[in-house]
Amino acid sequence: MRKVEVKPYTIEWEFMFEEESKKIKGIFQEELVAIYHIGSTSVKGMKAKPIIDLMPVVKEIHRVNDYNVEMKAIGYHPKGENGIPGRRYFEKDGDDRTHHVHIYEAGNEQIERHLAFRDYLRAHSEERMEYGNLKGELAKRYPFDINAYIKGKEKLVSKIEEKAIHWNQRENR
């Protein structure tokens, strides 16, 4: 059974991202446009589940399945779209997950959403603390119920996400 744990930020998460991104770059090579560290572990000072979220951006999403054997060889389980059209998703280490990979094709609107959310939290300490504290409380309340944990975050995530997208659009004019 998977336990929901939220931990204080650690610089180690940046190193884990860098190490894993090198492996993924080695697999996708010319197909890869960029690779980003997203999610709470990418925000300094943020409490997070210690799972590194990577977001590779590729030229053609339909070619990602061609790399499933190589991804499996470095410990990833391919999950297809996993509920989000236009994405390819991979998990590493099963119930003791260490990494999630969310692959999108260049131009997909989900890329801006993820980066805006990350960058907004990096720039807004009050929301960063509010979100981190909520995650900590939910992890204590629902240590073995990931669905309740996720549902408990939904309202605040939606609120922050809406602000983040507007903020990002203003910042990038």
pLDDT in tens, 11-46: 999 999 999 999 999 999 999 999 999 999 999 999
The mean predicted confidence, pLDDT, of the chain is 96
Structural domain contains residue 3: no
Residue 96 binned pLDDT confidence (cut-offs 50, 70, 90): confident
Structural domain contains residue 5: no
Q: Quick one: average pLDDT of 67-90?
A: 97
Rounded Cα gap, residues 27 and 70, in angstroms: 7
pLDDT of residue 170: 87
pLDDT score of 136 more than 80: yes
Q: Quick one: average pLDDT of 63-78?
A: 97
Rounded Cα gap, residues 154 and 36, in angstroms: 23
pLDDT score of 95 more than 80: no
Residue 2 binned pLDDT confidence (cut-offs 50, 70, 90): confident
Q: Quick one: average pLDDT of 142-170?
A: 95
> What's the token pair of residue 82?
């996993």
Structural domain contains residue 2: no
Residue 10 binned pLDDT confidence (cut-offs 50, 70, 90): very high
Structural domain contains residue 34: yes
Structural domain contains residue 64: yes
Residue 133 binned pLDDT confidence (cut-offs 50, 70, 90): very high
**Across the strands, what pairs with 91?**
77, 100
pLDDT digits (tens, 9 = 90+) for 110-127: 999 999 999 999 999 999
Residue recorded with tokens 């983040």: 164
CATH number of 154's domain: 3.30.460.10
User: Could you tell me the residue range of the domain that residue 135 belongs to?
Assistant: 12-171
Contact 104, 111 (CB under 8 A): yes
Contact 100, 54 (CB under 8 A): yes
Structural domain contains residue 163: yes
Strands (E) in 82-139, as ranges, are: 87-92, 99-105
Least Cα distance to 41 among 19, 18, 9 occurs for 9
- Does the global pTM surpass 0.85? yes
Q: Say how many domains are in the chain.
A: 1
Query: SS3 for 110?
Result: helix
Contacts within 8 Å (CB) and 24+ apart, 117-121: 117/38, 117/160, 117/161, 117/164, 118/36, 118/37, 118/38, 118/39, 118/42, 118/43, 119/164, 119/168, 119/171, 120/160, 120/163, 120/164, 120/167, 120/168, 121/40, 121/43, 121/46, 121/160, 121/164
